[in-house]
Amino acid sequence: MRALARRWLWLHEEIIAHDKELERLVTERAADLMASHGIATLTIAEMLILVGDDPTRIRSEAAFAKLYGVCPIPTSSGRMHRFRLNRGGNRHANAALYRVAIVRMRSHESTLAYVKKRTKDGKSKSEIIRCLKRYIVREIYGQLCVPKRSEFPAWRI
């Protein structure tokens, strides 16, 4: 039992060390995103993995949304115009977006106001989450994929 307890303590310390290193790396790459409400270190790490080394390869916000699997798919019939969730894209990143949306729906004031407004408009909870996920993707795209003014070459300014 002592050996098992020592092993558990050693692994626990190793996990804490890796978490600190991951937080340092994520903060170095996406400090603005760390300040966003509801987005934690592991979520940003998942997003950075999906973006990869060259964020300029993602040409538009719509392409970024498709990569995450949050682009709307029309499912209209007759006079009813609706959209459904996309089942494609990276499912791990989509799950991370879902977690961010749920956290924001619970405790973020502007998101709560948005949910209240959309509920009055007759939207279902899944439709509201779909819209929130697309909004979150816009925010992430602006912070991860759009080059900052300081990143442009001097001859392009």
Burial classification of residue 64, based on how many CB atoms lie within 10 Å of its CB (0-12 exposed, 13-18 middle, 19 or more buried): buried
Return the bridge partners of 73, or none.
84
Whole-number pLDDT of residue 62: 87
Nearest-5° angle of CA 65, CA 54, CA 29? 90
Whole-number pLDDT of residue 153: 54
pLDDT, tens digit, 9 for 90 and up, residues 32-76 = 888 888 888 988 998 888 888 788 788 888 888 888 888 878 887
Residue matched to tokens 């004031």: 109
What Rg, from alpha-carbon coordinates, does the chain have? 19
Q: Which amino acid is at 43?
A: T
Region 102-117: what's the mean pLDDT? 94
